[in-house]
A and B are shown apart, each in its own frame.
Chain A
Amino acid sequence: DGGITQSPKYLFRKEGQNVTLSCEQNLNHDAMYWYRQDPGQGLRLIYYSQIVNDFQKGDIAEGYSVSREKKESFPLTVTSAQKNPTAFYLCASSSSGQVEDTQYFGPGTRLTVL
Chain B
Amino acid sequence: ILNVEQSPQSLHVQEGDSTNFTCSFPSSNFYALHWYRWETAKSPEALFVMTLNGDEKKKGRISATLNTKEGYSYLYIKGSQPEDSATYLCALDTGRRALTFGSGTRLQVQP
In the complex, A97→B98 CA distance in Å? 8
Answer yes or no: A44 CB below 8 A from chain B CBs.
yes
Q: Which residues of the other chain, B, contact A48 by a CB distance below 8 angstroms?
A: 97-98
Interface residues of B: mostly helix, strand, loop or mixed? loop
Restricting to B27-48, which residues have a CB under 8 Å from any CB of A? 31-32, 34, 42-46
B51 touches A99 (CB 8 A): yes
Given contacts A42-B89, A50-B97, contact A103 B32 (CB under 8 A): no
B98 touches A100 (CB 8 A): no
Binds A, one of B14-22, B58-66, B74-82, B100-108: B100-108
Q: A20 CB to closest chain B CB, in angstroms?
A: 21
In the complex, A31→B45 CA distance in Å? 17
B103 touches A41 (CB 8 A): yes
A33 touches B101 (CB 8 A): no
Interface string of A77-114 (1 = CB under 8 A from B): 00000000000001000000111111111111000000
Interface size grouping (class) on chain A? 20 to 34
In the complex, A104→B45 CA distance in Å? 7
A102 touches B46 (CB 8 A): yes
In the complex, A57→B93 CA distance in Å? 15
**Closest B residue, CB atoms, query A37:** B101
Instruction: Apart from A33-B99, A42-B102, A107-B43, list 9 A-B contacts with CB within 8 A.
Output: A4-B43, A31-B97, A42-B103, A43-B89, A43-B91, A50-B97, A58-B98, A99-B32, A104-B46
